Structure 1
Amino acid sequence: MARGRRKSVLAATGIVWLALAGVSVPASADVTGGSADPSMIAAMKRDLHLDSAQATELLTRESAAGRTERDLRAALGTRFGGAWLTAGAATLVVAVTDPALAGRVRAAGAEPRIVRHSERDLAAVKSTLDKAARPSSGVVSGWYVDTVTNTVVVQARPDAVAAAGEFVKASGADPGVVRVNVSADTPRTTERVALGIYGGDLLRVPLGSCSLGFTVVNYTQHLGGWVTAGHCGRTGDAATPGFDVGATGTFRGSVFPGNDYAWVSHDNYDFEYGPFGMPQVYDYRGNGVWVEGLREAPIGASVCRSGITTGWRCGTVQAKNVTVNYAEGTVSGLTRTSACAEPGDSGGPYLSGGQAQGVTSGVSGNCTSGGTTVFQPLNPILRAYQLKLSSANGPLDPPA
C-alpha cells in the first residue's frame, strides 16, 4: 500500500492528513451525519467482509444505536450498567441494575440486561487498579472494564497469573468484581518512524514521524492545528505538518503517559483568513472522508482509522475505559478496537460513520498477522486545550 500521497493531490483537495483522532459535539447538537461515505464503505467491505448494502445498513443501525445509548445513559443515571451492540448491530443491549427499568429500556428500542454492578461501580473498581503501584509490563499488560460480562478484567501474561492476582490483592480492588484473563498480547505505542523512510510524512517531529489527527481550532489563542498522540512529541517541540515543506508547527500541549494526547498548531498561516485544513480524513485512495460530528460509538460498532503507514483500516469497538501498561508507563481511559495499525500511525483519527472518536495510541500485533489497537478518546483533548473540532457542520465543542 502506498504510504504517502503526492503533494499535488493534497493541494487540489486540501485534505488534512489525520490518523486516529476523535472529536466532540456541542452538548446541544445532535449530528446524525449524511449518506455513507463511499471510501468508508469500501474499507468496511475489505476489512469487515461486508457487501455495500450490508455496510450501509450497519452504519445506519449504529448511528441510531449511538443516539439511543446516549439518551438512556443520561436518563438512567447511576443505574446504567453500560451498553453494547450484538453482531451486525442487530441489537443494542443496555445493562441496568434495577429490574424495574427493563420496560423503559425496551420502550427505547433496546434489549435490557439486568446486572449487579453499574457502569460507575465498575469504573470505580478500575480506578482503584489505576491508582495502585504499577506492575511490570512483563506481568500485566493492562486492565479494562468489560461491559458485557459486568466485570473488570486484568490481562496477565501466561506465566504471570499468580503475580497478576497479587497485583489485584495489593490494590485493594474488590476481588468479586475483578477477573484475571490470560493474554499473550504485548501492547506498545505505535512508535515514531525514522525521518526520511517514507515520502510525504504527515507529521514530522524531532525524533521521527507520526500521523495528524482531526483538525481543531482554539479561538482564544487564535490558533488552528490538529490533535495527535502525546507520545509523538513534548510541549514546545517543533513539528512539520503535512506535505508543504514550508509549513511549521508547534506542540502546544502534550501529555504522556497517564493520557496519550497532544495538539499541534499550524504556525505560518493567517488565522483570520483560513481555512488552514479541511475537516476530512484521508482514505489513502485519493479521497477525503468528511468529519460530521462527535457522537461516541457504542461497543460493537464499526470504526475506521487512517495513518501514514497502513492507510485506511476498519474494525469494531471492543472495550472502553481500558488501561494499557506500556513500557513507558500506564495510560488510562483508552478504547480498544479490532482495527490494525503499525509504527507511524500514532495520532491518526478514528471515525465511526462520520463521527469522530479519537487518536491512535498503541497496538498489539500488526496489519499482516492481525492485531488490535487502542485509541485516546477525543473529548478529553478538546476540553484540556479549549479546542473546537472542525467539521462539515462547523466548529463543534465537546459535550459538557
Structure 2
Amino acid sequence: MRRRRLTHAVLASLLVLGGSSAAGTIPAAAAGSSASTPSAQSAPSTADPKPASDGLLAAMQRDLGLTRRQAEARIAAERAAAVLAPQVRRTAGEAYAGSWFDAERGRLTVALTPDATTGTRRAIGAAGADVRTAEHSARQLDAVKTRIDRLSAPPGVSGWHVDPVANAVVVDVVREDRSDNDVRRFVSRARAAGPVTVRTVAAAPRTFAAGTVGGDPYYTGNVRCSIGFSVHGGFVTAGHCGRPGAGVSGWDGSFIGTFQGSSFPDNDYAWVSVGSGWWTVPVVLGWGTVPDQLVRGSAVAPVGSSVCRSGSTSHWHCGTVLATNETVNYSQGAVHQLTKTSACAEPGDSGGSFITGDQAQGVTSGGWGNCAGGGETWFQPVNEILTRYGLTLHTYTG
C-alpha cells in the first residue's frame, strides 16, 4: 500500500529541515522548511505531555490489548524505567544480575546477586526500582553466552540470549528439530558452558527482505526493504538489504543514494547516504494507516517494555521487548546482539523502524511467523549502528 504523500508532506512542513540535509523519505518538492537538533542517544523527557502519536497508541491498544489510558500510562512508566536502568546498573556494580520492565507493576525490576550490600539494595529501591535476588551475575551470564557464541549451531537451533528473569542463557530450539542429533549435541555443549534453559519455538527465523512487488519504500536490485531511521546524511536500515556501493531507489523509482556501509551476517546493519533531492526527517511513517511518529531520541527500552514497528508491508504493529543481546542463527549465518520482540513482521519489512514512545530502538532484522498468525521479530539496536558508522540520529526537539 502506497503511503499518503499529502499527509507526509504536511508533517514535513512542520519540521525545520537542515538546508543541506539529504533525505530517505521525502522528495524535496514535498518538503517544507524546519530545524532540528541531532542527538544520537537523547534521554527521554518524562515531562513530555504526549510522548506518542494517536496512531501509535491505537496500535498498542490493538496489539497489546490495552485501553488508551493504559497505553499512555505504560509509555510514561517505560520512559521512567529507561532513564533509571543505566543508573541502577552503575549502583549495583558487580552485583548486577540484569533488569527488566514489569508491565503489571509498571516499574523496573533489578536482579542482584546475594553478595549485594544492604546499602546497595536500599539505594536501588529508593530510586524507584523493585529488587530481586539472583544466583548469577550479568557478567557471568554474558560470559556463558560468549562461550556458546563460539559454537557452530545447526539450523534447528534458532538462537540464544541471556534472560534476566530466568537468570540463565535461554537456547531456542525449533519444535520439529528438537530430537535432531545435531541439535541435541549443540544443547549438550551449551549446557556445559554454564546455566542454560532450553525453550521450544514454532519456527526458525528468517530475514524479511522481499522481491520487488511494487509499493513502498526503497529498492536495491530486485529486493524491497524498509527505511529504519533518518540520520544526518542518510538513513539506517538492515545489512542484508544491500552491500556497500549498491544503489537505492525510492517508492517512486527515483534514485535516493548508495549503501555506504553494510554488515551481514555477524551483524545486520547498514546505512545509506542520500541525495538527488531527498531529505531526511525525524519521523517514523504511519503508511497512511496511523499518523507519523516524531523521533526525539534513542534511549534503550528495558526488557518487558512495549515496542512498535513500522514497515512497508505490514505497517504498524506492536509487541514487547522479550530479550536483548540475542544471537540469532539465520540460514545465512549467526547474527549477534539482536533484540527479540513479540511484534510481528512480514517480507519487505526488513530494515524498518522499531520505536518505543518517541525513542528509536532499532531496525528490523528478521523473525518467524506473520501478522495474521503472530510470531517473533528481532531488531538490530540503533545506537550500535550510530556508533559503528559515526552517525547522528536525526531527531525533533520541538
Which secondary structure state, in structure 2, belongs to the residue aligned with residue 376 of structure 1? Answer: strand
Q: Give deviations 1:128-172, integer Å, cap 9, x for gaps.
A: 11122x2221x2111111110100011123343564342244468
CA–CA distance in structure 2, aligned partners of residues 13 and 43 of structure 1: 20
Is the 1:229–1:360 contact (alpha carbons within 8 Å) kept by the matching residues of 2? Answer: yes
Is the 1:62–1:89 contact (alpha carbons within 8 Å) kept by the matching residues of 2? Answer: no
The answer to whether residue 232 in structure 2 is matched with residue 234 in structure 1 is no
CA–CA distance in structure 2, aligned partners of residues 340 and 376 of structure 1: 15
Cα deviation for residue 373 of structure 1 reads: 0.5
Which secondary structure state, in structure 2, belongs to the residue aligned with residue 388 of structure 1? Answer: coil
Q: Give deviations 1:34-68, integer Å, cap 9, x for gaps.
A: 31321211111111111111111111111111111
Q: Aligned to 1:152, which of 169, 173, 192?
A: 169
CA–CA distance in structure 2, aligned partners of residues 355 and 76 of structure 1: 25
Q: Aligned to 1:393, which of 390, 393, 397?
A: 397
1:45 maps to what in 2?
A: 61
CA–CA distance in structure 2, aligned partners of residues 211 and 116 of structure 1: 42
Cα deviation for residue 31 of structure 1 reads: 3.0
Structure 2 counterpart of 1:121, one-letter code: Q
1:261 maps to what in 2?
A: 269
Q: Aligned to 2:300, which of 296, 299, 306?
A: 296
CA–CA distance in structure 1, aligned partners of residues 73 and 198 of structure 2: 37
Unaligned stretches of 5+ residues in structure 2: 14-23, 27-37
Q: Which runs of 4+ in 1 moved over 3 A?
A: 6-18, 24-27, 161-165, 168-173, 243-247
The answer to whether residue 44 in structure 2 is matched with residue 31 in structure 1 is yes
Is the 1:215–1:277 contact (alpha carbons within 8 Å) kept by the matching residues of 2? Answer: yes
2:205 maps to what in 1?
A: 187
Is the 2:231–2:280 contact (alpha carbons within 8 Å) kept by the matching residues of 1? Answer: no
CA–CA distance in structure 1, aligned partners of residues 191 and 200 of structure 2: 21
CA–CA distance in structure 2, aligned partners of residues 185 and 359 of structure 1: 21
Q: Aligned to 1:355, which of 353, 356, 359?
A: 359
2:257 maps to what in 1?
A: 249
1:14 maps to what in 2?
A: 12
2:227 maps to what in 1?
A: 212
CA–CA distance in structure 2, aligned partners of residues 106 and 172 of structure 1: 34
Is the 1:290–1:354 contact (alpha carbons within 8 Å) kept by the matching residues of 2? Answer: yes
Cα deviation for residue 244 of structure 1 reads: 4.5
CA–CA distance in structure 1, aligned partners of residues 123 and 4 of structure 2: 53
Is the 1:293–1:393 contact (alpha carbons within 8 Å) kept by the matching residues of 2? Answer: no
Which secondary structure state, in structure 2, belongs to the residue aligned with residue 350 of structure 1? Answer: strand
Q: Give deviations 1:160-198, integer Å, cap 9, x for gaps.
A: 3564342244468524x112222232211112x222x23
Structure 2 counterpart of 1:358, one-letter code: G
Q: Give deviations 1:187-237, integer Å, cap 9, x for gaps.
A: 11112x222x233x21111122100010002xxxxxx11100000011111
Q: Give deviations 1:82-134, integer Å, cap 9, x for gaps.
A: 111223452321011134232222111111111121212211111111122x2
CA–CA distance in structure 2, aligned partners of residues 6 and 322 of structure 1: 36
1:225 maps to what in 2?
A: 234
Which secondary structure state, in structure 2, belongs to the residue aligned with residue 248 of structure 1? Answer: strand
Cα deviation for residue 371 of structure 1 reads: 0.8
Higher relative contact order (CA 8 A, sep 6+): 1
Structure 1 counterpart of 2:159, one-letter code: G
Structure 2 counterpart of 1:253, one-letter code: G
CA–CA distance in structure 2, aligned partners of residues 182 and 331 of structure 1: 20
Cα deviation for residue 298 of structure 1 reads: 0.6
Q: CA RMSD in A?
A: 2.2
Unaligned stretches of 5+ residues in structure 1: 19-23, 218-223, 270-274, 395-400
Alignment of 1:1-400 (within 5 A): 3-14=1-12, 29-32=42-45, 34=48, 35-36=50-51, 37-97=53-113, 98-100=115-117, 101-132=120-151, 134-137=152-155, 139-158=156-175, 159-161=177-179, 163-170=182-189, 173-175=192-194, 177-191=195-209, 193-195=210-212, 197-199=213-215, 201-217=216-232, 224-241=233-250, 243-269=251-277, 276-284=279-287, 285=289, 287-393=291-397
The number of aligned residues is 368
CA–CA distance in structure 1, aligned partners of residues 6 and 255 of structure 2: 15
CA–CA distance in structure 2, aligned partners of residues 322 and 251 of structure 1: 26
Which secondary structure state, in structure 1, belongs to the residue aligned with residue 387 of structure 2? Answer: helix
Deviates more, 1:148-157 or 1:351-360: 148-157
Identity within the alignment, %: 43
Structure 2 counterpart of 1:393, one-letter code: T
Is the 2:55–2:290 contact (alpha carbons within 8 Å) kept by the matching residues of 1? Answer: no
Structure 2 counterpart of 1:186, one-letter code: A
Is the 2:171–2:197 contact (alpha carbons within 8 Å) kept by the matching residues of 1? Answer: yes
Cα deviation for residue 393 of structure 1 reads: 2.8
Is the 1:140–1:154 contact (alpha carbons within 8 Å) kept by the matching residues of 2? Answer: yes
CA–CA distance in structure 1, aligned partners of residues 230 and 121 of structure 2: 41
Structure 1 counterpart of 2:127, one-letter code: A
CA–CA distance in structure 1, aligned partners of residues 108 and 57 of structure 2: 22
Which secondary structure state, in structure 2, belongs to the residue aligned with residue 389 of structure 1? Answer: coil
Which secondary structure state, in structure 2, belongs to the residue aligned with residue 154 of structure 1? Answer: strand
